[in-house]
Chain A
Amino acid sequence: SQQGEEDPQALSIQEGENATMNCSYKTSINNLQWYRQNSGRGLVHLILIRSNEREKHSGRLRVTLDTSKKSSSLLITASRAADTASYFCATVSNTGTASKLTFGTGTRLQVTL
């Protein structure tokens, strides 16, 4: 399987704390994306980092990418209860046609008041 691994599988923090999720993958990639999924709902695209980038920011999100270690991390700062969701990394390999997304195993984040 080409699926990436994420850790932790589950994370419970209090509002205001930072949450860090890690993703490891196996193959060479074009870019890596992070998604959020609220329970039983569709996916929301959060951020994309290209293979030649090392760090990217978007609001309270910070993503790093280490292609030598085939790993990425997502940091959510100053978490809020509304951040409670599952977070997935997804890698994009250049298949020559439409981009194929391969999802990681996901991290379930619970932010409590």
Chain B
Amino acid sequence: GAVVSQHPSWVICKSGTSVKIECRSLDFQATTMFWYRQFPKQSLMLMATSNEGSKATYEQGVEKDKFLINHASLTLSTLTVTSAHPEDSSFYICRTPGLGDNEQFFGPGTRLTVL
């Protein structure tokens, strides 16, 4: 199956800084990318859906100016957490769907810790 990588796998930053998380599909054209956030011991919550070459669609309650998503190519989608605060500390996971419902390609996740 396709491989989706995320970089970095973990990052620690100071409050107020911005962090960019990259999600790459290595052998698959990711037309659509879903971004999730998972707080400790909680479930995955969908943040936004991005389509290559167009603006992302954000879920209710997710600030689009704080979580900037760029999907400029079929192999790369990025999520930038701007002016990060400790409450943004979370596990961020990207997902791109395959050709069928059985095919869901998840990135391994990025652990963000904001001090």
Contact = CB atoms under 8 A, between A and B. Distances in A.
Q: Which of B32, B106, B111 is packed against the most chain A CB atoms within 10 Å?
A: B106
Interface in B79-115: 91, 93, 95, 97, 101-102, 104, 106-109, 111
Interface stretch (A12-20, A67-75, A77-85, A103-111): A103-111
A11 interface: no
B29 interface: no
Q: Which of B43, B46, B101 is packed against the most chain A CB atoms within 10 Å?
A: B43
A104 B38 CA distance: 12
Contacts, number: 52
**What class of interface size applies to chain B in its complex with A?**
20 to 34
Given A40-B91, A40-B111, A41-B108, A101 B34 contact: yes
B43 A101 contact: no
B43 A30 contact: no
A98 interface: yes
Nearest to A97: B32
A27 to B, nearest CB: 14
B75 to A, nearest CB: 16
A15 to B, nearest CB: 23
A39 B108 CA distance: 12
Contact of A100 (B31, B41, B46): B46
Given A40-B111, A45-B104, A106-B43, 15 more contacts: A3-B43, A42-B93, A42-B109, A43-B93, A48-B102, A98-B49, A99-B101, A100-B34, A100-B49, A101-B46, A101-B95, A101-B104, A102-B46, A103-B45, A105-B43
Interface of A: 3, 30-31, 33, 40-43, 45, 48, 88, 92, 97-106, 108
